[in-house]
Structure 1
Amino acid sequence: MDPLWWIGAGLVFVVIEILTLGFVLIMFAGGAFAAALASALGAPTWLQFVVFAAASVLLLFALRPWLLRRLKRRMPLEETNVAAQLGRSAMVVADVGPLGGRIKLSGEVWSARAARDGLVFPEGAEVQVVRIDGATAVVDAVARDSAPSTSTTHDSNPHS
C-alpha cells in the first residue's frame, strides 16, 4: 500500500480530532503515520495494518491518559449537559412530591420529583438537584433552607 494513503488517512484523523477534541482520533492518526513509515520501508500490506493497529492501541492506552491528566491540571473542564445541572438550585413552579411536580432549572421548566418519600416542596420553594433520572430532576431541600413540609397523602394527579 502506498505511504500516501496512510498519510492521507492520518491527516483526515487529525482534522476530525480538531473538531471533536477527544484525544482518540489523534491516536489513530499516529498509527496511520507509523503505518506510512512501515510502508515507506517496504513492509507488506498486512504488516502495515498490524503496525497501524499496534501503534494506535499503544498510543490510546499509554499517551492518551497522560495527555488528559495534563490537560485537566492546566485548566478545569467545565461540566455540560446533565452533569452541569447537578447541585444547582431550582424554583418549584408546581408542588413537587415523590410522584412528581415541576421546577424551573436554568431558565427551563423540568419535571421533578422529591428525592425522599414523604417530602413535598410547595410552589415557590427553592430546591437543589441531586440527580437526573431520564428527563426528571430529582430534588431535595437546599441546605440553608428549613426542612420541607412532610405529607402522608400523595396527590396522584400527574399534572401537578
Structure 2
Amino acid sequence: MSWHWWVVAAFVLGGLEVFTLDLVFGTLVVAALAGAVASAAGLGFPGQALVVAATAVLMLAVVRPLLVRRLKVEGALVPSGTAAHVGRPARVLAEVTELGGRVKLAGEEWSARSAAPGRAFAAGEPVRVVAIDGATAVVDAPPAAPPGGSSGAPPAASTPPEP
C-alpha cells in the first residue's frame, strides 16, 4: 500500500479527533503515520499492518492514558454562572423580606429574599448571597468583621462599591 494512503488515513483520523477530543483518533493518527513511514521504508502491506497495529496498541495502552492524566483538571473547579454569586456581597435596593425584595449584585439588579424567616433588610443595607434559587438571590447578613480589623486572609471575590 502506498504511503500516500496512510497519510490520507491520518488526515481523516485527525479530522475525527477534532470532533471527539478524546485522544483515541489522535493516537490512531500516529499509528497511520507510522504506517506511512513503514511503506516509505519499503515494507509490504503485511509489515505495514503490523507496524500500524503495534503502534496503535502502544499509543492506546500507554501514551493516551498518560496524556489524559496530564490533561485532566486537578482540584476544585472555579464556579461560574449563578453559582459564582454565592458568597458575594450585595446591597439592598428595596427592602428584602422572606417574601421578596431587590438587591444590587455584581452590578446587576436581582430579585432577592431573606434566608431567615422573619428577617428583613432595609434599603442600603449590605447583605451576603447564601444561595441562588432560579433568578432570586437568597441573602443573609454579612459575616461580622473580626475585632481589630482585618483577619489577614485575602478578601473573597467581591464587587466594586455600589454607587
Which interval holds the TM-score relative to the shorter structure? 0.5 to 0.7
- Which of these two proteins has the greater Rg computed from alpha carbons? 2
Q: What 5-or-longer segments of structure 2 have no aligned partner?
A: 36-47, 146-163
Is 2:27 aligned against 1:34?
yes
CA distance in 2, matches of 1:62, 1:101: 52
Please give the TM-score of this superposition, normalised by the length of structure 1: 0.56
Aligned pairs (5 A) from 1:8-47: 8-10=12-14, 13=17, 25=21, 28=22, 30-39=23-32, 40=35, 41-42=48-49
CA shift in 2, pair 1:3/1:35, >3 Å = farther
More displaced stretch, 5-14 vs 89-98: 5-14
CA shift in 2, pair 1:82/1:9, >3 Å = farther
How far residue 80 of structure 1 moved from its aligned partner, in angstroms, is 3.2
- Of 8, 11, 14, 1:7 maps to 11
Structure with the larger strand share:
1
- Identical residues among aligned pairs (%): 37
The CA deviation string for residues 8-55 of structure 1, in whole angstroms up to 9 with x for no partner, is 4436745x7xxxxxxx82xx2x31132234453438xxx9xxx69x94
Q: What 5-or-longer segments of structure 1 have no aligned partner?
A: 17-23, 146-160
CA distance in 1, matches of 2:86, 2:125: 18
Aligned pairs (5 A) from 1:58-97: 59=64, 63-67=67-71, 68-69=73-74, 79-97=79-97
Give the AA of the match of 1:95. E
3-state SS, counterpart of residue 119 of structure 1: coil
